[in-house]
Structure 1
């Protein structure tokens, strides 16, 4: 029986996907419970502030998955080439680079904290400082989770990438119950959880990666791969994580941005559902621009599993929107507007789940044709919202259109790329 299962799962996608699935969904449960605690204990105004600040963290932290992809990609190549000890050279290089970026950013955030608080209609700049400091810590997490992912050390990688969620839940619940129901404490718990996850990631790399004398060979330049990946993921992040932040800017009424924040939290699960599959798929389809029949099979299965999960979740949330509102926010009698917002945001967000799968496949394959379409879709989204923001529904329609267009564009790119042929220009990025 086990031999038959092993032959069915030759690429290890299901086995490794299940490992990541367990840890990721444990983190998802922790994330769910965190929003249950915050959604029930915080006022609608405070919860709206919390979600908008978490949206900022996601907006800028998500593109840093480019760094995780870069480290995973090149770590895998080092391992395949028998150069595991060179991974530490690459890791140190990126730590130094990030320090040169994050320190000035922290100083700028401190200087302009008042301006940022005013833009989001916040009463105190302390929330801005905590948000920025948390964000800067999260910038370093992808370095270590990327190395662990490239080495297929999925347990260590999953704990590093998701451990902060459990810590955030426990500490956030304590602070809110023991002191005050404030967005400030939720953000502080997020920051402390990120610091602890970073420590776990450092420990995991030191434990897992084989040390020894370096190969003496030059480290391949990762700059272009990282920068193009960064642009790609930034565009995707603008599509996925900007909605609550934009609503907070354009709508100052608590009923508007508060209700939308709740719908956005529920809708974003559409993308989070497929993350375990993406993480397990990435190292299995790494190439220098060519994709084989094995890669095609892995991608097809990843798309199928993801489509089933996302479609099922969207249908359930459409038929029974009152259930997530009750579970998450203790809203036993949601208004018709609240339920309609849940339906709308879920369907607007759903295509991004498949966009996420397709984008990561292209990045793993060293093909970057997806970058320009995603940048265009993100630009159209922001431009559309700037023109049409007289109502929440105008913003949702713009969001849904941009989301759907991104999925269609990446599917077209996928079908245009012949199997077994190196993508044009991909050799220049190695």
Structure 2
């Protein structure tokens, strides 16, 4: 055997990997998902406005508590979506009926155990949240199962380059949620059941889309290592981007911490659309790491994600006081400067998000190490300097800047070395046209 045949074959950038037409086909999908997430965000604000005006403060507090738990569950479950997306994208974007069983059916079956546990402890859960009835606690159990199924099936669609059904699901879900408080008499039970019904509708639409696109072929497996890495990375990334709020609550006086949380809530809304774009562009990153030049895919994703974050935070930075007045009241005018600093931090966080997803795409535990290091730096900096809200904000900004430098350094080195993933196949995947 000659040296020529012994050398590992490097995929050709011309004939393998994501082609430019495939990249162009993703653009309408990115726009559709971004528009759908924007509609969903507005719809959720309307939902809370109607519920807040219609329910008593005690009942609205109970509703908000259960909905907050649902949102908290969505953070680690987003790792399932990323893992399913990577699994499908790494195998050429092909959807098969067997893949639906292994990528969706198995995680859903596993989720039944913790859901049954939630039903068993429904009494203590209702008492802990001071719910007027056990309905709210009961809803958490099916919500967990539906969230697992929806995360996996959305990941399959995004990995196959079919973001359209995902966008439709976002809009349909928030539409049903709004009907639950607009058409019927608002109550804690109707609002929670409406939220669950919306997620069920989105799940049904996504499963139907996957089945229509499925063909015969070998099933794709999720992979325990891929799931563990994705769930851990996105959970740590969430702690990194939200840790300043917890630290502000701990170190600042109650009124100051309330003002800081108000400013942070406004600033971090600018990350919703970049996160949606990142979910659609993730298959591109997976495909890029199977080519000799992965930097091109990373840069394209960074332009879209960081560009959206910059545009959103620019609006926040221009008129922070006005936004605080519109969303809260004039008592928060004193944190306008804090909001400007946190808007800058949101842009830096979007760069870290691209780096973490790039590491996930190549199957590296750097996706966990980088945001973990950032979170540690953030805790140390804010613990040392927290005299007022602006010091906490700048501590978050400086720690984000350090993490950006670390993320860029790690991914630049990986790009130069072109490290392959241990659990992703070497042949270059392609994005199929949905």
The TM-score with structure 2 as length reference comes to 0.75
After TM superposition, give the deviation of residue 142 of structure 1 in Å: 1.6
**Equivalent in 197, 208, 212 of residue 207 of structure 1:** 212
Match of 2:200 in 1: 195
> Within 5 Å, which residues of 2 pair with 1:14-93?
14-38=27-51, 53-79=66-92, 84-85=95-96, 88-93=97-102
Given that 1:72 and 1:146 are in contact with CA atoms closer than 8 Å, whether structure 2 keeps it comes out as yes
Match of 2:296 in 1: 297
**C-alpha distance in 2 between matches for 1:40 and 1:174:** 15
After TM superposition, give the deviation of residue 146 of structure 1 in Å: 1.5
* SS state at 1:274 partner: helix
**C-alpha distance in 1 between matches for 2:63 and 2:235:** 22
Structure 1 residues 66 and 54: alpha-carbon distance in aligned structure 2, compared to 1, 3 A threshold: same
**C-alpha distance in 2 between matches for 1:165 and 1:334:** 31
> Within 5 Å, which residues of 2 pair with 1:146-295?
146-161=155-170, 163-174=172-183, 178-179=185-186, 186-210=191-215, 212=216, 214-215=217-218, 219=220, 222-240=223-241, 262-287=262-287, 289-293=289-293, 295=294
Q: Which moved more, 1:407-416 or 1:46-55?
A: 46-55
**C-alpha distance in 2 between matches for 1:73 and 1:269:** 26
**C-alpha distance in 1 between matches for 2:74 and 2:87:** 21
Given that 1:20 and 1:279 are in contact with CA atoms closer than 8 Å, whether structure 2 keeps it comes out as no
**C-alpha distance in 1 between matches for 2:206 and 2:222:** 24
The TM-score with structure 1 as length reference comes to 0.75
After TM superposition, give the deviation of residue 234 of structure 1 in Å: 1.6
Structure 1 residues 232 and 392: alpha-carbon distance in aligned structure 2, compared to 1, 3 A threshold: same
**C-alpha distance in 2 between matches for 1:370 and 1:97:** 25
For residues 158-195 of structure 1, the C-alpha deviation after alignment (integer angstroms, 9 at most, x for no partner) is 223553233323424445xx335x6x655443222112
After TM superposition, give the deviation of residue 317 of structure 1 in Å: 1.8
For residues 26-84 of structure 1, the C-alpha deviation after alignment (integer angstroms, 9 at most, x for no partner) is 3233234334545666788876766665444333313322222222222234446xx64
Structure 1 residues 188 and 8: alpha-carbon distance in aligned structure 2, compared to 1, 3 A threshold: same
> Within 5 Å, which residues of 2 pair with 1:115-134?
122=130, 126=134, 127-131=136-140, 133-134=142-143
**C-alpha distance in 1 between matches for 2:46 and 2:115:** 30
**C-alpha distance in 1 between matches for 2:63 and 2:249:** 11
Given that 1:145 and 1:161 are in contact with CA atoms closer than 8 Å, whether structure 2 keeps it comes out as no
For residues 92-132 of structure 1, the C-alpha deviation after alignment (integer angstroms, 9 at most, x for no partner) is 1244433443223224334555666777x756574455455
**C-alpha distance in 2 between matches for 1:263 and 1:387:** 21
Q: Which moved more, 1:341-350 or 1:54-63?
A: 341-350
**C-alpha distance in 1 between matches for 2:364 and 2:311:** 31
**C-alpha distance in 1 between matches for 2:207 and 2:137:** 27
* SS state at 1:410 partner: helix
Q: Which moved more, 1:13-22 or 1:393-402?
A: 393-402
After TM superposition, give the deviation of residue 274 of structure 1 in Å: 0.9
What stretches of structure 2 of length at least 5 have no aligned partner?
A: 1-18, 426-434
Structure 1 residues 198 and 224: alpha-carbon distance in aligned structure 2, compared to 1, 3 A threshold: same
Answer yes or no: is 1:415 the counterpart of 2:422. Answer: no
The CA RMSD measured in Å over matched residues stands at 4.2
* SS state at 1:273 partner: helix
After TM superposition, give the deviation of residue 359 of structure 1 in Å: 1.8
After TM superposition, give the deviation of residue 272 of structure 1 in Å: 0.8
- The total of aligned residue pairs comes to 405
